[in-house]
Amino acid sequence: MATITIREALNQALKEELARDEKVFLMGEEVAEYDGAYKVTKGLFHEFGGKRVIDTPITELGFAGLGVGAAMAGLRPVIEFMTFNFSILATDQIINSAAKMLYMSGGQFNIPIVFRGPGGSAYQVSSQHSQALESWYAYFPGIKVVMPSTPADAKGLLKSSIRDDDPVIFIEQERMYGNKGEVPDDPDFTIPLGVADVKREGKDVTIVARSLMVPVALKAAEQLEQQGVSCEVIDPRTIRPLDIDTIVESVKKTNRVVVAEESHPLCSVGAEIATEIMERAFDYLDAPVKRVSGADVPMPYAKNLENLAIPDVNRIVAAVKEVAYID
């Protein structure tokens, strides 16, 4: 295994899939000659050429539509949004075309397409560039939604997403591109979609966290371990399909649960997970499900306010102590 960053893991996945399948191509803003706004596509244009790695104008609706058409014709496009905030402009093609085409065509057209790029909070780019949109996309049948939190997950899940015959929303956390971790060297290493991962085993409280909140939850669990509280940390990795069974089994063991996310609380993925737990494991709960979410406000620009808007270790620790009835 090699220790690499999430950025490098994503680059490896794209490079290996471009080499493996000539139907795969990459398209988006600055993905080619500039090597990508976040350098995820570094070197791919020079290795595979301008027919496989394609720079586009700043027209998200346009190149998303081109991607859907290419997928209908049998290709496997990977569409990069410079930020998922810009995908809002392409939602007609993502939701009304990509997600619904298999159903509306009576099974005649699969849409093997990946829409990927950074999402969630960034560093002081304010409210129009720091939005968590996963619950929005997960709402619609026909789309799979993936959110990795480690380099290994990033590589394995992206490769599986590219090989999948359905449209996939693949949201990378902008703040996490430089995070390092071990990644298998096997070029055929993949991680199946719809399978959660237990990032840390514990017996007292389950913490369900995704994307940016996974390392935060792990730090909180380390701190709580020193206080005698054993926390199990579960990363769903995919939001749709959601591996609720793994989460429920953990809750049946620990009898307490905290759901941590950086997104707004109303109509969030955390709200769905909390409801599923209440429906499936109510009799096992020794405390109400506790949610820790981002502030229900547009993301502030000021650094001190931005820090207050995003859940941190202290808030997760406090939530765990609340469900464990610890002062």
Domains delineated in the chain: 2-183 (3.40.50.970), 197-323 (3.40.50.920)
Mean model confidence pLDDT for the chain: 97
In the block, residue with structure tokens 């992206």: 158
Catalytic residue positions, numbered: 60, 129
Q: What is the mean pLDDT of residues 110-136?
A: 93
pLDDT in tens, 40-60: 999 999 999 999 999 999 999
pLDDT in tens, 296-317: 999 999 999 999 999 999 999 9
DSSP letters for 128-174: GG----HHHHHTSTT-EEE---SHHHHHHHHHHHHH-SS-EEEEEEG
pLDDT of amino acid 145? 98
Q: Dump strand ranges (E) for the chain.
A: 2-5, 24-28, 53-55, 76-80, 114-119, 144-146, 168-173, 180-183, 197-200, 205-209, 231-235, 238-240, 257-260, 290-292
One-letter identity of residue 75:
L
pLDDT in tens, 166-189: 999 999 999 999 999 999 989 899
Q: What is the mean pLDDT of residues 194-206?
A: 98
CB within 8 Å of 9: residues ≥ 6 apart: 151, 152, 154, 155, 183
